[in-house]
Chain A
Amino acid sequence: MKVFSEFSFNEYSNTYLVGPEDGGDAILIDPGHISLDLIDRIERNRFTIAHVLITHRHEHHTKGLGTLLKIFSPTVYVGSPQVYDVPVKQVTDRSIMDLSGITAEAIQIPGHTIDSFVYKIGNVLFTGDVLFAGRIGKTAGVVETALLLRGITSRLLTLDERFLIYPGHGTISALKIEKLFNRELIDAMASDDLAQLSHPSIVT
């Protein structure tokens, strides 16, 4: 499996291209912007974009869909019923998808948005705006932060710490690195206030 990352100046977001070694059906994750470089990379690797995974519906993770759909006819997977006017397949928590032989698991972690998903492919977590290198996703308030942290701690930090993190913005990382050096995560987990906010009676 090949994984390529593409950086876009559109809100400094990352788009990821995942495909088989010898070309064929490939996956594009968060097509915030379809640049000529990205199209060139798709062609050089003899990929056809057959699947699109969207971590959440924010524009800088989806805006390239229009351009992409003029070139390819992929199935678009997202955690909400609609993205623009594009027909989608709605994913749910723990969905396992067979994407032309590549298995992807959807992990719903709300907080940044209600439809935020992390996709697990091989030993890589495509975390969107849930978890970045050194940061957690931005939220609208303390309850959303509690939801996000509960999701990160119960669904991601319990995985093998060598899982790689390919986030929606910023540098790539690994779970072990975030456990040790992500101060936002470490400080938030140590906070008593947050422990109270994470109580199941408050966050449902």
Chain B
Amino acid sequence: MFKCVPCAVDGCKRYALEDMYTCLHHAQDSEMVFQSLIASITDSHRHRDIVITDARFSNYDFSNIQLSTSDFARCVFHNVDFTDAKVHACFFDFCLFENCSFHGSDARHSVIAGSKLINCSFTDSLLLHTNLMGIDAQFCDFSSSDLYYSNFSSSHLVEVKFIDCNLKNADFRYTDRTSVTFKYSNYEEAVFTS
């Protein structure tokens, strides 16, 4: 399990990197530390307990990565490819995802709550028990995904597709939905009212 150890720099509200005293922002030679973390994430091994919060990822290929119990809170992901990635019980809360693909990914038990998602694809994904509370999603596609027991409550959804999804016990209470389609999905088994 990742630890939430505060950055050792006075006044910094970020969390320290795993096995370090400071956050990425305050690490000595932060760019080198960042690149080494990227290299370790993208190798073929399965990784656990990585902490990289408040970082910016642009144009990275994270397809097929395998991560569990890691913390990426408040990060920005722009044009990042998570195709076929396995990210179990990882925290991506309060992030910005723009033009990212999670096609074929397995993000079960992960937390994406409070994030803004723009033009992202989650097609053919396993999002069982995934926490998407309070997300602001625009032009996103969750089609052909298993959203069993996922939680979208209190979220804002615009132009979002849930075509041919498993929505059993998915929580859509208090959502604000504009141009959202549930075509061919078992939306009657989802929860829309409290």
Q: Which residues of A pack against B, CB within 8 Å?
A: 1-3, 5, 7, 12, 122-124, 133-134, 160, 162-164, 170-174, 176-177, 180-184
Contacts and interface: CB of A to CB of B under 8 A. Distances in A.
Nearest to A5: B109
21 contacts: A7-B129, A7-B149, A123-B1, A124-B1, A163-B4, A164-B91, A170-B129, A171-B130, A171-B150, A172-B109, A176-B93, A176-B94, A176-B114, A177-B131, A177-B134, A180-B114, A181-B114, A181-B133, A181-B154, A182-B133, A183-B174
B137 interface: no
Given A2-B1, A3-B1, A162-B15, A177 B114 contact: yes
A122 B149 contact: no
Contacts of A3: 1, 69, 89
B111 A171 contact: yes
A177 B111 contact: yes
A180 B109 CA distance: 20
B3 interface: yes
Contacts of A1: 1
Interface in B145-189: 149-151, 153-154, 169, 171, 173-174
Nearest to A177: B113
Contacts of B149: 7, 12, 170-171
A68 B37 CA distance: 40
A134 B129 contact: no
B94 to A, nearest CB: 8
B interface: dominant SS: loop
| The 3 nearest A-B residue pairs measured at CB | A181-B134, A171-B131, A181-B154
Contact count band on B: 20 to 34
Contacts of B93: 174, 176-177
B12 to A, nearest CB: 14
Contacts of B4: 123, 160, 162-163
Contacts of A164: 91
Nearest to B169: A12
Contacts of B134: 177, 180-181
A167 to B, nearest CB: 10
B44 interface: no
A184 B129 CA distance: 19
B194 interface: yes
A7 B94 CA distance: 26
Interface string B85-122: 00001010110000000000000010101100000000
Nearest to B69: A3
Contacts of A173: 111, 113, 131, 133
Contacts of A133: 113, 131, 133, 151, 153
Q: Which residue, B128, B133, B149, B173, has most C-beta atoms of chain A within 10 A?
A: B133
B111 A172 contact: yes
A133 B15 CA distance: 23
Nearest to A134: B153
A6 to B, nearest CB: 10
A162 B114 CA distance: 13
B72 to A, nearest CB: 13
Contacts of B69: 2-3
A123 B109 contact: no
Contacts of B114: 176-177, 180-181
Contact of B153 (A5, A176, A183): A183
